[in-house]
A and B are shown apart, each in its own frame.
Chain A
Amino acid sequence: MLQSQVSTPAMQPVAWIRRRNRWTIFEVLFWLATLLPFCFFPAYLNLASQIAITALFALSVDLVLGYAGIVTLGHAMFFGLGAFTVGILSSRYGWGEPISGLFLAALVAGLAGFASSFLIVRVQHLALIMVTLGLGLLTFELGNALSWLTGGTDGLTGISTWNIFGYFRFDLWGYTAYSYSLIVLFLCFLLCRVIVNSSFGLALRGIRENVKRMPAIGSDYRWHLRVVYTISAAIAGVAGALLTQTTNTVTLEVLSFQRSADVVVMLILGGTGRLYGAIVGAVIFLIARDQLAGINPQYWFLWIGLLLMFVVMFMPKGILGGLARLVRREE
């Protein structure tokens, strides 16, 4: 079904809201396109898997940044917690079952998200960025200090992920890795889509649009923020766990500031507050890095910088925002 772009005053309000949340042909095509690497780029399936994992991470950040307006520069802490959860489970305790690993990673990252959310909802604007940044750096240093557990700068070794459902083995070419990452990405995307199209999602948009009004309409908006921050942290943890499981390694890099910052760049490139922007941003960022690093390993960030400036200047709502404007002649 194509989304109708004109809202006629005669339309019933319930039908109008339902129509806004309906699946569009673009969405169906988009997800079909994620299958293309299997047919056309079989040599790049490992990269595709990395992209799907990073897209999932970006999706989790979009939930807090794009919908609830929480600008964060420390989300790698949840990604890293998830990555280390399954890493430690496998290398220290010999448990490499992937699905339960994902759930445990979500649990650990979600608990950390819930705990830190009490701090997050107390601050706004610049202070908020600093608090998230600080928490991220603290977690990184914690990981460094606990080298007996995390392997420190060397990272964890001896991780082995079991077959999925005891059957699908992780192969060298990345068929299983990409299929697995893509399915998890899709399932988490469905969850995010349900969330943003719910009354809760509407409340988040209300917070982003005008937080000052929220108490005046009787909203405990801080509770909403805690909930979404926890969900987002859990999803970031799942993404981290996927990375460990598909590569069988985990280093402190998963907790790094660079990872937190990159994901924000991806969101700005793709467009915030539309879920797909997170995925598109991750695709562009990682493909550009792969290709540009091949040409010039030292200076590839220069091109990302130029692209970022171009997008911010000419498409303030990101690449998807710009495209949507072309397609729908948005206001």
Chain B
Amino acid sequence: MVLRTESICKSFGSLEVARDISIELPQGARYALIGPNGAGKTTFINLITGQLRPNSGRILLDGQDITATGTAERVRRGLTRTFQINTLFPDLTPLESVTLVVCEREKKAGQFWRSLASHREAIEESHAILSQLGLAEVAMKPTRQLAYGQQRLVEIALALATRPKVLLLDEPAAGVPKDESAMLFEVVASLPRDIAVLFIEHDMEIVFSFASQVIVLVAGGVLLQATPDEVKEDPRVREVYLGRGHG
């Protein structure tokens, strides 16, 4: 298992936002995390990546306990996330943004005496990542000028540049029109097979066509983990989730 959580619990006062969550992500996983609004999906991602600390439970990356490790260090060890709401560098170009990530990864970002242009490999790697995601055309425009769908791709590009072993995608297609969101998930599907991916998504069609396993989260706890077909047929899921008019 690349990533394992053991009985993660978190509450804000009397509000339990994570109840005893234990999941396992094997190498190359394509898992979906679904659940009604307020089920604690984003909270769970925040717990795994270290923006929040659990009250109890453990998080293991490659068998090593990272529960007390800071967010940046988790990223350096290969656990990266994207954000539901664009969390980009608006005035930087995608090329600069991704180059920054590569420089941070290679521990070259602190070198204030070397010109950026001299980090040739970092710039070229960054450009290759952007080209792979179809962003070569806009790589040298300020990020804020990009179309919204392109900005969603920059979200993913920034995460990919950290060379993750585990990639947590928080609604990668949030706010993207339906026809474009399928395209975004083609990108997700074509990610290197050695990356374990856990994604949050509301569109059931997309979940069922891109996930090999689905984890259903309800009220901070795991209701069920199963294949898409089993989840589709499960009466409890229908009741708490599909029955409420989502999907």
Binding site for B on A (CB under 8 A): 7, 9, 11, 13-14, 16-18, 21, 194-195, 197-203, 205-206, 209-210, 212-221, 223-224, 227, 231, 331
Contact = CB atoms under 8 A, between A and B. Distances in A.
Given A215-B72, A216-B81, A216-B87, 12 more contacts: A13-B95, A14-B117, A18-B117, A194-B115, A198-B112, A202-B116, A205-B91, A213-B88, A215-B71, A217-B100, A218-B73, A227-B110
A210 B110 CA distance: 18
B135 to A, nearest CB: 11
Interface string B73-84: 101100011010
Interface of B: 49, 70-73, 75-76, 80-81, 83, 87-92, 95-97, 99-101, 103-105, 108-117, 119-120, 122-124, 126-127, 136-137, 139-142, 145, 158-159, 161-162
A216 B75 contact: yes
A304 to B, nearest CB: 29
A208 to B, nearest CB: 8
A65 B132 CA distance: 36
A215 B75 contact: yes
A21 B116 CA distance: 9
Given A217-B101, A219-B109, A16 B116 contact: no
A21 B119 CA distance: 14
A217 B75 contact: yes
A202 B110 contact: no
Given A206-B100, A213-B87, A199 B72 contact: no
B49 A331 contact: no
B87 A203 contact: no
15 contacts: A13-B124, A13-B139, A17-B96, A17-B117, A21-B117, A194-B115, A199-B99, A199-B103, A200-B110, A206-B100, A209-B89, A213-B83, A218-B162, A220-B72, A221-B72
A202 B91 CA distance: 11
Nearest to B126: A13
B105 to A, nearest CB: 6
B113 A205 contact: no
Nearest to A228: B112
A214 B72 CA distance: 8
Nearest to A13: B127
Contact of A218 (B75, B97, B126): B75
Contact of A13 (B101, B104, B123): B123
A87 B114 CA distance: 35
Given A11-B140, A18-B117, A203 B89 contact: no
B113 A202 contact: no
A216 B83 contact: yes
Contact of B115 (A198, A203, A218, A224): A198
Contacts of B115: 18, 21, 194, 197-198
* CB-CB nearest 9 A-B residue pairs: A218-B75, A200-B112, A18-B117, A209-B89, A215-B71, A13-B127, A7-B140, A199-B103, A215-B72
Contacts of A11: 140
B142 A331 contact: yes
B97 A206 contact: yes
B103 A203 contact: yes
Among the interface residues B99, B109, B158, B162, which one has the most CB atoms of the partner chain A within 10 A? B109
A331 B145 contact: yes
Given A11-B140, A216-B81, A17 B116 contact: yes
A203 B109 contact: yes
Nearest to B143: A209
B88 to A, nearest CB: 7
Contacts of B122: 199
A197 B116 contact: yes
Given A194-B113, A195-B112, A206-B100, A9 B89 contact: no
Contacts of A198: 111-116
